[in-house]
């Protein structure tokens, strides 16, 4: 699989503090990779080094297999939105993009109409930027990223500050760009629940270090539902479960609570097994493991 971004022991130090510790990272063609961490974890610093806005203290960056001076052409295949772009408040979307088209040397003038069509702003011909909603401003930012027909987008917190409708719009737009235009996406956020609906891979960063790197399948495994029971006799219930299901995975918690991690689809059967054998089931419910809490623990945890 083609590697689009590759970093080797990439490092950034500010005033003797390591913001990014030697970091190895790769992004493969076709992925939507989410970089997740709390504010100050190093996400923006990492993205600014990829964009060339910050010089690394150490290590190496390869874009499309090129590094150093050879990266100039590779950069043209990338679209970066690290901070909200500075648009002219009194200009329309077309006027703003025309300014950037000339500045960036994009020859095809019709590309402006194409990118506005892609992000759903083509019908906002007369509306000025200052009258845009937050979601529209973010979409215009993505249109600017698309102006040079990139193969890869790097987006820093594109859903930050958006309402529910704006978040859905950006999510659907990014999915469409990935599936229909085959654009690879690296996106950062601290909103895990939203990224679960978007990304194919999840990289967690804390204090400038990658602490976990999971595929969507791995993430789904971690967020599987479990059965929670409250019974009058936990020891008897445990024996019955072990006799009925040789591979049962369960935990006995205080207050006669049992959680069962597998055979979740047989909840009704399990309930009947216990009741028929004289165990009083006072509470029975399905619950999803709280993934948000798990990963907040991972990325926020106790600071060392």
Mean pLDDT of the chain: 90
> What mean pLDDT comes out for the span 144-166?
91
pLDDT value at position 161? 82
pLDDT value at position 294? 66
Strands (E), the chain: 3-14, 17-28, 32-36, 58-63, 78-81, 152-156, 184-189, 201-206, 209-215, 225-231, 250-253, 257-260, 281-288
| pLDDT class of 189 with cuts at 50, 70, 90 | confident
pLDDT value at position 203? 92
| pLDDT class of 304 with cuts at 50, 70, 90 | very low
Q: Are 187 and 155 in contact (CB under 8 A)?
A: yes
Q: Are 86 and 137 in contact (CB under 8 A)?
A: no
Per CATH, the homologous superfamily of domain 3-220 is P-loop containing nucleotide triphosphate hydrolases (3.40.50.300)
The bridge status of strand 201-206 relative to strand 209-215 is antiparallel
Query: What confidence tens digit (pLDDT) does each residue in 36-51 have?
Result: 888 888 999 999 999 9
Start-to-end CA distance of the chain, whole Å, equals 37
pLDDT value at position 303? 44
Percent with pLDDT over 70 in the chain: 94
On the question of pLDDT at 1 being above 70, the answer is no
pLDDT value at position 192? 79
Q: Where are the domains of the chain?
A: 3-220, 224-284
Residue 81: both structure tokens together: 């939105």
Helix (H, G, I), strand (E, B) or coil at 211: strand
Query: What confidence tens digit (pLDDT) does each residue in 267-299 have?
Result: 889 999 999 999 999 998 887 666 666 676 666
Q: Which CATH number fits domain 224-284: 3.40.50, 2.60.120, 2.30.29, 3.30.70?
A: 3.30.70
Query: What confidence tens digit (pLDDT) does each residue in 210-267 have?
Result: 988 999 888 877 777 788 999 999 999 999 999 999 999 999 999 999 999 888 888 8
Which of 174, 112, 119 has its CA nearest to residue 147? 112
What CA–CA distance (Å, rounded) separates 261 from 212? 22
Q: pLDDT: is 10 or 268 the higher one?
A: 10
Query: What confidence tens digit (pLDDT) does each residue in 160-187 have?
Result: 888 888 889 999 999 999 999 999 999 9
What CA–CA distance (Å, rounded) separates 18 from 185? 26
| pLDDT class of 21 with cuts at 50, 70, 90 | very high
pLDDT value at position 231? 94
On the question of pLDDT at 302 being above 50, the answer is no
């Amino acid at each position: 699989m083609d590697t689009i971004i590759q970093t080797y022991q990439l490092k950034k130090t500010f005033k003797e503090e390591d913001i990014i510790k030697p970091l190895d990272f790769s992004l493969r063609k076709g992925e939507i990779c989410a970089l997740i961490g709390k504010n100050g974890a190093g996400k923006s610093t990492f993205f600014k080094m990829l964009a060339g806005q910050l010089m690394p203290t150490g290590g190496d960056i390869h874009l499309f297999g090129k590094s150093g001076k050879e990266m100039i052409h590779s950069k043209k295949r990338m679209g970066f939105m690290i901070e909200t772009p500075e648009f002219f408040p009194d200009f329309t979307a077309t006027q703003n993009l025309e300014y950037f088209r000339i500045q960036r040397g994009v020859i095809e003038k019709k590309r402006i109409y194409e990118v506005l069509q892609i992000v759903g702003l083509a019908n906002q011909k007369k509306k000025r930027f200052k009258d845009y909603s937050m979601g529209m401003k973010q979409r215009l930012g993505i249109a600017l990223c698309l102006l040079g027909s990139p193969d890869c987008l790097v987006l820093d917190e594109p859903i930050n500050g958006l309402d529910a409708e704006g978040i859905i719009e950006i999510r659907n737009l990014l999915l469409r760009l990935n599936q229909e235009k085959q654009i690879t996406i690296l996106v950062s956020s601290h909103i895990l629940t939203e990224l679960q609906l978007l990304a194919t891979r999840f990289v967690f960063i804390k204090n400038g270090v990658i602490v976990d790197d999971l595929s969507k399948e791995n993430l789904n495994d971690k967020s599987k539902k479990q059965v929670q029971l409250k019974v009058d006799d936990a020891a008897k219930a445990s024996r019955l479960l072990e006799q009925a299901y040789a591979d049962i995975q369960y935990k006995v918690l205080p207050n006669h609570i049992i959680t069962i991690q597998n055979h979740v689809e047989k909840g009704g059967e399990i309930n009947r097994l216990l009741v028929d054998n004289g165990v009083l089931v006072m509470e029975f419910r399905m619950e999803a493991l709280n993934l948000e809490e798990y990963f907040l623990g991972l990325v926020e945890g106790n600071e060392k």
